[in-house]
Amino acid sequence: MVIGLGIGARVVRISFLLFLILLAAMCFSILVGAEYVPIGDAAKVITSHLTGRSYSVDQSFDLIIWQIRLPRVILGVIVGMLLAAAGAALQGLLRNPLADPYTVGVSSGAALGAATAMVFGLMDWFFGFGVPVFSFAFAIAAMVLVYFLAQSSGRISIYSFLLAGIVVGSFLWALLTFILTLAHQDLAVIIRWLLGSLSVSDHPWGYVLMTLPFAAVGISILVIFARDLNVYSVGEETAVTLGIETEKLKIVVIAAASLITAAAVAASGIIGFVGLIVPHIARRIFGADHRILIPASSICGAILLVIADAAARLLGEMPIGVITAMMGAPFFLYLLRFRSAKPL
């Protein structure tokens, strides 16, 4: 009992510290940009919109903070949470430390959907949300295709699932390459989307509202099934012996992880390494219990993406996927060089 309380207290302390770090990162990111906005004016703008009170603030500051930077920061928090939670769940389910949210072919489908919308002039469909809607729809279609290819006699083999994800992903990337050959003036826009960005000029709060339900529902589902995932991580035969419905668990985790990944990619493009490195970091801090690991990964993912987006803006609106790749590659080099004697 004492040991349990000690571990619980440690988790609470670290979680509280991470929340403070996230809050500080968000405040810093709101102030970062080409246009300088005093911290006092930024606070007045946010307070004014939240409370309805009127403050004397430059109208341009109101536009910059409320319509550009704040929704961008919040979107970064949500997308970071989605990718990290999906990565933690899939690494546990697939028992593969190198698995990430894009393993299941969702990113390839999302990229094809977004490129299709851009090339064929469908961006204004669905009240101006043509790109994210087509991206999400194609991502879900890719997930369903992978599921049916991996299924055999009502069961899903993890190895078949991984292979199906690779095959479908490769095929969809080939189709994407064909679509890119049809793009002319849209080519630069598509490539920038493929590299990931939280910069949304149209409907900034719409993207936040679009992804928020997926974060709430998807991550909650993964946390609910976290206990079963703990048992399954030991081995499928052990899980069956202990009464875990393994096929149901696979379907739920794959569906939830794919849905939240599709929502994240539809809103921000393809941002690599977040769902891959963040679960490793959280696992080293909090341990392998998915009941703690999944929400902890969500917080760490939000911190990482908010900081990466701030760095991208400081470097002249560099694609955020470039920043996360620059962070992720050295981390895995560290694992390879200094932790090679230990399992990931």
The answer to the question of residue 117 being in a domain is yes
* Model pLDDT, residue 137: 92
DSSP 3-state of 155? strand
Residue 334: CA count within 13 A, CB half-sphere: 8
Confidence band for 78, pLDDT divided at 50, 70 and 90: very high
* Interatomic CA distance for residues 341 and 250, integer angstroms: 31
The answer to the question of residue 144 being in a domain is yes
pLDDT digits (tens, 9 = 90+) for 214-230: 999 999 999 999 999 99
Confidence band for 286, pLDDT divided at 50, 70 and 90: very high
* Model pLDDT, residue 338: 64
Helix extents (H) in the chain: 2-31, 39-51, 59-62, 70-94, 106-119, 125-128, 130-150, 158-182, 187-194, 204-224, 226-234, 236-241, 246-268, 274-286, 290-314, 320-338
* Model pLDDT, residue 230: 93
CATH number, domain containing residue 314: 1.10.3470.10
Name the more confident of 333 and 216. 216
pLDDT digits (tens, 9 = 90+) for 85-103: 999 999 999 888 878 888 8
The answer to the question of residue 43 being in a domain is no
Both tokens of 180, joined, read 């890119």
pLDDT digits (tens, 9 = 90+) for 23-35: 999 999 999 988 8
* Mean pLDDT of the region 318-341: 79
Name the more confident of 120 and 54. 120
- Exposure class string for 125-142: b at 16+ Cβ within 10 A, else e: eeeebbbbbbbbbbbbbb
Confidence band for 330, pLDDT divided at 50, 70 and 90: confident
* Mean pLDDT of the region 277-289: 91
The answer to the question of residue 28 being in a domain is no
The answer to the question of residue 151 being in a domain is yes
Confidence band for 339, pLDDT divided at 50, 70 and 90: low
The mean predicted confidence, pLDDT, of the chain is 87
Both tokens of 251, joined, read 């379907």
Residue numbers of the domain that contains 285: 75-338
Confidence band for 188, pLDDT divided at 50, 70 and 90: confident
* Mean pLDDT of the region 129-148: 90
* Mean pLDDT of the region 260-284: 91
List the one residue out of 93, 106, 103 whose CA is nearest residue 253.
Answer: 93
The answer to the question of residue 63 being in a domain is no
The answer to the question of residue 17 being in a domain is no
Helix 2-31 and helix 290-314: axis angle, to 10°? 20
- Exposure class string for 153-166: b at 16+ Cβ within 10 A, else e: eeebeeeebbebbe
Say how many domains are in the chain. Answer: 1
The answer to the question of residue 224 being in a domain is yes
